[in-house]
């Protein structure tokens, strides 16, 4: 592995460990030339996943876009960035486990909603208000009542 600092063509692996539930390997490396350390990640190559949108457009699945949406939902909530990344990884894994090369955006949205509902109800409601495009306050209140009934075990 080429050193990102001095461009020396070799580096020494100091430490390796599995990350992302064993789906990747994190390696700490050291350059024998300049002595600086850096981190690399090794992942298996995945087939492209196409997302079909409501308006008929198709685009490649973008985990960064998913993470940005999750970060907006969790804004100012007591949830760590690591937990948000974990949710994004879990959503991507669940969607890929469907075994499809093309998935509807609504399917991804439902998977996200499942994780948000288990993690933080405020983030869930924030995401739902955008995802479900509540037409008015009545729809919003109905969703809140559904959550409250579910929480009470009714």
At CA 125, angle to CA 121 and CA 131, rounded to 5?
A: 135
pTM of the full structure: 0.65
10-29 pLDDT tens trace: 999 999 998 877 778 999 99
Burial 46-60 (b: 16+ CB within 10 A, else e): eeebebeeeeeeeee
Task: Give the sheet arrangement for strand 12-19, strand by strand.
Answer: 12-19, 24-30, 37-43
117-141 pLDDT tens trace: 899 988 988 888 777 666 667 777 7
DSSP state of 48: P
């Amino acid at each position: 592995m080429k050193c990102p600092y001095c461009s020396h063509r070799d580096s020494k692996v100091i430490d390796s460990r599995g990350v992302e539930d064993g789906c990747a390997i994190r390696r700490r490396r050291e350059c024998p030339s300049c002595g600086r350390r850096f981190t690399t990640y090794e992942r298996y190559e995945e087939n492209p996943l196409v997302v079909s949108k409501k308006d008929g457009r198709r685009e490649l699945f973008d985990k960064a876009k998913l993470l940005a949406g999750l970060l907006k939902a969790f804004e100012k909530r007591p949830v760590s960035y690591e937990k948000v990344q974990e949710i994004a990884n879990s959503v991507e894994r669940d969607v890929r486990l469907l075994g499809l090369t093309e998935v509807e955006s609504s399917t991804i949205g439902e998977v996200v909603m499942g994780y948000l509902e288990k993690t933080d109800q405020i983030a869930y409601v924030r995401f739902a208000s955008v995802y479900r495009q509540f037409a008015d306050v009545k729809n919003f209140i109905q969703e809140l009542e559904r959550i409250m009934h579910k929480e009470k075990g009714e």
